[in-house]
């Protein structure tokens, strides 16, 4: 069942089109930076000013630009469609008559959405790396602390940063799966998940409610940048991973409770 879910997801034209669109953005960033000569230090998104000096920073610049909006939007489409799409097409009932049962179906859908989170992030990272290497020199990696690291060490840290970005999307994916079990209209599930995500982002930007910021799924999203310090700061990274795991557990359990008690009539 899992193999079929993964095959179906990544063979869809919509999925392929989203991945292609995600790959275009870091390439455009690299081309624009190359043609413009790059921004001054401190201007633009984080890491953008360093791309001209080292092509590997195109990976981090692309991830920084894509993480706040574009990557979560792509995840909401896939997660919102996971269950609601089957219900809307009338195929959910036939999937549930299999001996595997509802829990296994939800588990397979969850793994498929998680695989998309990783694939989407990897697409951005690889496209950024290829365009950065093609257009800019490769040098020792300058850290946020001002020191430099060997290129091999820097590349390893950047790869880990990309994985952490994928992990950051798990909370959005979990919410999308839960909402997807509550409706038979996939567009409604996508829109509701996106609205919830935007609401969380607004709350995270308001200092008046800073007491709840540590519990908002977007609060530690930029902690991956701490890998680019000479001495890695693990505090924010660990909190982010733990928080995404908590959202995955809570909303995954809610999705399971909803799906296992849902009346499927068509």
> What digits encode the pLDDT tens for the residues 17-50?
999 999 999 999 999 888 887 665 556 566 777 8
In a domain, 247, yes or no: yes
- Prediction pTM value: 0.90
CA distance 257 to 148: 50
In a domain, 205, yes or no: yes
Query: What is the reported pLDDT for 77?
Result: 94
- In this predicted structure, the answer to whether residue 266 has a pLDDT above a threshold of 50 is no
Which residue range(s) make up the domain with 101? 2-261
In a domain, 266, yes or no: no
- In this predicted structure, the answer to whether residue 183 has a pLDDT above a threshold of 60 is yes
In a domain, 105, yes or no: yes
Residues with Cβ within 8 Å of residue 5, at least 6 apart in sequence: 108, 109, 111, 112
In a domain, 104, yes or no: yes
Please say whether the beta carbons of 62 and 126 come within 8 A: no
* C-alpha distances in Å from residue 228, one per residue of 77, 106, 129: 31, 37, 16
3-state secondary structure of 26: helix
Q: Look over the chain and give the mean of its residue pLDDT values, rounded to a whole number.
A: 88
Q: Please state which of the ranges 99-103, 121-125, 209-213, 244-248 shows the lowest mean pLDDT.
A: 99-103
| pLDDT tens readout for residues 54-99 | 889 999 999 999 999 999 999 999 999 888 887 776 666 656 666 5
CA distance 132 to 20: 17
CA-nearest of 102, 117, 140 to 259 is 102
Please say whether the beta carbons of 141 and 54 come within 8 A: yes
In a domain, 163, yes or no: yes
How many structural domains comprise the chain? 1
């Amino acid at each position: 069942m899992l193999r079929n879910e993964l095959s179906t997801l990544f063979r869809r034209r919509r999925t392929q089109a989203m991945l292609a669109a995600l790959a275009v953005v870091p390439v455009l960033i690299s081309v624009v930076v190359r043609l413009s000569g790059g921004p001054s230090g401190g201007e633009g998104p984080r890491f953008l000013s360093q791309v001209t000096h080292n092509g590997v920073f195109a990976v981090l610049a692309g991830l920084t630009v894509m993480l706040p909006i574009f990557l979560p939007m792509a995840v909401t489409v896939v997660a919102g469609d996971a269950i609601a799409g089957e219900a809307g097409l009338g195929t959910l009932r036939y999937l549930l008559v299999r001996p595997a049962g509802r829990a296994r179906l939800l588990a397979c859908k969850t793994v498929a959405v998680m695989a998309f989170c990783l694939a989407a992030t990897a697409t951005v990272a690889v496209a950024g790396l290829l365009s950065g290497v093609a257009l800019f020199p490769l040098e020792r990696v300058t850290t946020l602390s001002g020191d430099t690291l060997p290129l091999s060490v820097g590349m390893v840290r950047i790869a880990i940063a990309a994985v952490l970005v994928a992990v950051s999307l798990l909370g959005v994916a979990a919410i999308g799966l839960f909402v997807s079990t509550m409706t038979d209209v996939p567009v409604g599930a996508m829109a509701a998940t996106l609205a919830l995500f935007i609401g969380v982002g607004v709350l995270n930007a308001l200092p008046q409610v800073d007491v709840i910021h540590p519990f908002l799924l977007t609060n530690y999203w930029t902690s991956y940048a701490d890998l680019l310090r000479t001495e890695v700061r693990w505090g924010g990274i660990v909190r982010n991973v733990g928080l995404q795991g908590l959202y995955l557990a809570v909303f995954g359990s809610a999705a399971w409770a909803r799906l296992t008690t849902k009346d499927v009539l068509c």
